[in-house]
Structure 1
Amino acid sequence: MTMFENVTRALARQLNPRGDLTPLDSLIDFKRFHPFCLVLRKRKSTLFWGARYVRTDYTLLDVLEPGSSPSDPTDCGNFSFKNMLDARVEGDVDVPKTVKVKGTAGLSRSSTLEVQTLSVAPKALESLHKERKLAADHPFLKEMRDRGENLYVVMEVVETVQEVTLERAGKAEGCFSLPFFAPLGLQGSVNHKEAVTIPKGCVLAFRVRQLMVNGKDEWDIPHICNDSMQTFPPGGAKRRGVCSIDCALGEMHEDFKTLKEEVQRETQEVEKLSQVGQSSLLTSLSNLLGKKKELQDLEQTLEGALDKGHEVTLEALPKDVLLSKDAMGAVLYFLGALTVLSEAQQKLLVKSLEKKLLPVQLKLVESTMEQNFLQDKEGVFPLRPDLFSSLGEEELTLTEALVGLSGLEVQRSGPQYMWDPDTLPRLCALYAGLSLLQLLSKAS
């Protein structure tokens, strides 16, 4: 992940660990996430590992009839952070007796991250709602209505008060004899440093609420949204590829069973592919894991195809695979989970696949979340001994590294693990990724 992503995710966890504050993942897009900006939710978004949004070139004010401008967003508070590092996201993996890999990204030693929260005042929104109707003939609204998209309005942001410099320092050292570390590029002792400057007024995280269009020119922004609500009234194009489970903003899903059922629904769509199709999909994904840009390109291709109602053919061995709309939606769901994982984790997944470790790893993550999904306090918990009993030293080390990069610290003594509730979204994403790869591996 980029330094910018590392810090925005760390910031969101510190300010709002299990809430609806979404970290911005692209520095270049920050001007499109100010209050009143209109954004789209990514296809097959889920709040289990964080809904993902993409910018548009419009604000709510752009699609309203001309009139008075609302008051500026109000300042809800200032916060300062010093020496903020995010080792859990980038990785701090200690592999016993073999290799030690460290990588952190955060503030430079001389920097302090000063941020403020700005939000749209309820009275300002109420006045805007009374005074200005929707410009029903606006070309952007027409396009979104035809495509069946849901629109969201940025209502609150966390932005920098002053310019700040981020630095990344990484080091890998030790004996890299184990073969599964070769794909990670760990060959010898490596030191690496880089820096990026974030300007004043840069949005780092944001909250949204859904825009609702009632009739021709009436609009509203309700406080609560759910999966049955659509921006545009029924009767037009139906929203394709929306997440199957949503929730009231700021709330977490009920329990692990809800996540499990959601993942099962998506895997059932993938299961409808022929055995050769599943094998080809596995080959294609295996070649892309660890390559962030290529994964994003695939995601954009599938989203574009869904928008136009096209089917997509993935070129892979043993045979090209044709993805239907439903299959594309399911693949997009799992791509959303896989892109939450670091590139190092993605490469470890490929190695786990080769060594047939996915069933054990899936049971480990599943067992952990079944026991602690609603646990909101840190603690040490016993681990089922049978989960590791079949693993040799190399396989155990690989598994420890994979789950450790999602924040699940496993200790062989006991055996036991350290639970941190802030790691839940990344564990949910890992669970979904393991579920898909395990399903596809059965067809190979």
Structure 2
Amino acid sequence: MVVIFDEVVKRSLRQFGKRDLKPVPALINSEEFHCFNVVRKKKNGSSSFWNQPDIPTGFSLLDILDLSSPVPDLSRKHPIIYEDKVFWKGKGSLTIDAGVEADGAASGETNKSYESTLKLQINEITAKTLTELQSRPLLKPESQFLEQCRKRREDLYVVTKTLELINCPQLCAESGRKWLGKLSIPETPFIKGQGQVTGDKRRQQSMKLLKNKVLAYQTKQLIFKKDGCEILHIKDKKQMTFPHVVMPNIIGYIGDRSMYKMQSDRSMYKMQRLTTMYESECLTTMYESECLTTMYEPKCESMEFLQTKDRSEILPIQQIEEPLSQDFKQLQVEISRRMGELSQFSKNIQDILFHNILVMLGDREALQDLQDMMEQFPQGDLNGPGGIILNELRKNSENLLVYARSCILYLLEALLVLNDTQLYLLAWSMKEKILVHQRELVRSILEPNFKYPWRIPFTLKPELLTPLQDEGVAVTYKLLEECGLKIDLNSNRSAWDLEAKMPLSALYGCLSLLQQLAVA
């Protein structure tokens, strides 16, 4: 069902401001992205190749400000009625030549139909209202919600614009697929034969959306000051929501020409902060680190801790967060490092991770809760599959170092970059054991196109599609399309899009790490 909703959001954004608005991450929490609602964003991710998604908080800006007078109403534009009807039919064929050993051919026919009538409205907080809200003081005492966000160094944003449904549309989708496959083996002294397979599959889906569902939204960053808050009208990378909070201990190191960041652990490192200064609205901090114990470290050509005693050599925190290089080899190094960390776990732990993450792929909130708890591990408790993972890790805590556990966070971050449709399809792929074939196909797209910032055509390799079989090919195509790639099912000709680079990199990371767990 999530597939239908994601299609509605995607098609709506094509018509009403794709660049201006972001799609809601999931149907289940779409109502938490109304105007005035506050969302959080984790500041330091494990990867430099994708950004962390917005996380709903359940709080509103009106919950943390002293509202002595009513807040002006939103600016509401005239409703727009959008009728969307799609009927599509296509045919394709594939020939496989294995020399004298065997040859085969496959052909297929697919059709899709989709229909919906949406009544949409754009709601927005006016600049005048935002300015007026900034003059209001914060509630005293400070809410526990703000205190937790300050401790976690998370940036906060307020939703200022939304694209909402003002009717209750019935969504209907139907798809069908027919295929024919043939295989023949020439007569040899040892074996001969031929075979044929046919299939016909149809699917119908329907969903009724409730009124006031948010399909897409826009945010502006919150900056908290001593007596109030500021709402930035222009995005500025140098800003922090809590500018006067001292940054926690961070170690940056260089290995295989790639920079990674790791939060220190008291049992592992003793960190001494030497000096702190605030320049150009950017907190810069330097640390002197002393390693107190030996930890697991995959082999690499070079590794050096970033240390400095000269104020002129202090690096801004933002500079540490920027990737040193943005090429496919660096992405491979980053993912290979995490796969190596996963391989250090026992087979039992790897099995528990694989099967419980599989269960959670249908519940984005459960994945988010596990990510939050892993950041403060070993503290924190969860119910369900996330709790099973945490409990199993605690049993082996004496053998698990902070560095080794970071691979779990890396996997969770990559999964949360994907939308609900992709998580659903990824779960299907895990059950069908086709992750390794999907990974190779994604690699064949990323590797030659990674450096191109413009639209460029490419061709999917037939030999990489063959092991996926019919439905596996359809699922994989959908995974790629949801990343933003334009796929032509008939000719295998597709188009690279720069916007697909980040989600496609995250998908490649997910497939690689989940496959590592699958073969454990």
User: Do the structures match in fold with TM over 0.5?
Assistant: yes
CA distance change for structure 1 residues 327 and 141 in 2, over 3 Å: closer, same or farther?
same
- Cα pair 2:92 2:489 within 8 Å, conserved: no
**For each residue in 1:212-241, what CA deviation from the matched residue of structure 2 results, as whole angstroms up to 9, or x when unmatched?**
1123x221121344666432234367599x
Which residue does the alignment assign to 1:212? 223
Is structure 2 residue 123 aligned with structure 1 residue 118? Answer: yes
Deviation at 1:204, TM superposition (A): 1.4
Separation in 2 of the partners of 1:439 and 1:238? 32
CA distance change for structure 1 residues 85 and 214 in 2, over 3 Å: closer, same or farther?
farther
- Cα pair 1:365 1:431 within 8 Å, conserved: no
Aligned pair partner of 1:301 in 336, 349, 370: 370
**For each residue in 1:287-312, what CA deviation from the matched residue of structure 2 results, as whole angstroms up to 9, or x when unmatched?**
75587326763442232342565385
Which residue does the alignment assign to 1:181? none
Structure 1: tracts of 5 or more residues without a match: 179-186, 245-252
TM-score (norm 1): 0.70
- Cα pair 1:48 1:259 within 8 Å, conserved: no
More strand by share: 2
**For each residue in 1:40-71, what CA deviation from the matched residue of structure 2 results, as whole angstroms up to 9, or x when unmatched?**
23685999777533333321112111322332
Aligned pair partner of 1:417 in 475, 494, 512: 494
What secondary structure is seen at the aligned counterpart in 1 of 2:216? strand
Separation in 2 of the partners of 1:239 and 1:9? 40
- Cα pair 1:164 1:199 within 8 Å, conserved: yes
Is structure 2 residue 228 aligned with structure 1 residue 151? Answer: no
CA distance change for structure 1 residues 27 and 440 in 2, over 3 Å: closer, same or farther?
closer
Is structure 2 residue 497 aligned with structure 1 residue 431? Answer: no
**For each residue in 1:387-416, what CA deviation from the matched residue of structure 2 results, as whole angstroms up to 9, or x when unmatched?**
848658445878854652213436797x84
CA distance change for structure 1 residues 148 and 394 in 2, over 3 Å: closer, same or farther?
closer
Structure 2: tracts of 5 or more residues without a match: 95-105, 184-197, 251-259, 262-321, 381-388
**Which amino acid in 1 is paired with 2:67?**
P
Which residue does the alignment assign to 2:213? 202
CA distance change for structure 1 residues 258 and 227 in 2, over 3 Å: closer, same or farther?
farther
Aligned pair partner of 2:425 in 318, 337, 344: 344
Q: How does 1:107-186 map to 2 (within 5 A)?
A: 107-108=115-116, 112-130=117-135, 132-139=136-143, 140-174=145-179
Separation in 2 of the partners of 1:296 and 1:84? 32
Asked which structure has the greater RCO (Cα within 8 Å, sep 6+), the reply is 1
Separation in 1 of the partners of 2:60 and 2:432? 45
What secondary structure is seen at the aligned counterpart in 2 of 1:71? coil
CA distance change for structure 1 residues 223 and 201 in 2, over 3 Å: closer, same or farther?
same
**Which amino acid in 2 is paired with 1:285?**
F
Which residue does the alignment assign to 2:449? 369
Separation in 2 of the partners of 1:29 and 1:303? 17
Root-mean-square deviation (CA), in Å?
Answer: 4.8
**Which amino acid in 1 is paired with 2:507?**
L
Separation in 1 of the partners of 2:87 and 2:235? 31
Which residue does the alignment assign to 1:221? 231
Question: How many pairs are equivalent?
Answer: 404
Deviation at 1:429, TM superposition (A): 3.6
Which residue does the alignment assign to 1:72? 73
Deviation at 1:158, TM superposition (A): 0.5
What secondary structure is seen at the aligned counterpart in 2 of 1:357? helix
CA distance change for structure 1 residues 166 and 46 in 2, over 3 Å: closer, same or farther?
farther
Deviation at 1:335, TM superposition (A): 1.9
**For each residue in 1:294-339, what CA deviation from the matched residue of structure 2 results, as whole angstroms up to 9, or x when unmatched?**
67634422323425653854869xx999584533321222222455
**Which amino acid in 2 is paired with 1:60?**
L
Deviation at 1:437, TM superposition (A): 4.6
Which residue does the alignment assign to 1:271? 340
Q: How does 1:351-366 map to 2 (within 5 A)?
A: 356-357=436-437, 360-366=440-446
- Cα pair 1:115 1:161 within 8 Å, conserved: yes
Separation in 2 of the partners of 1:402 and 1:173? 15
Which residue does the alignment assign to 1:231? 241
Aligned pair partner of 2:413 in 333, 337, 350: 333
Separation in 2 of the partners of 1:37 and 1:80? 26
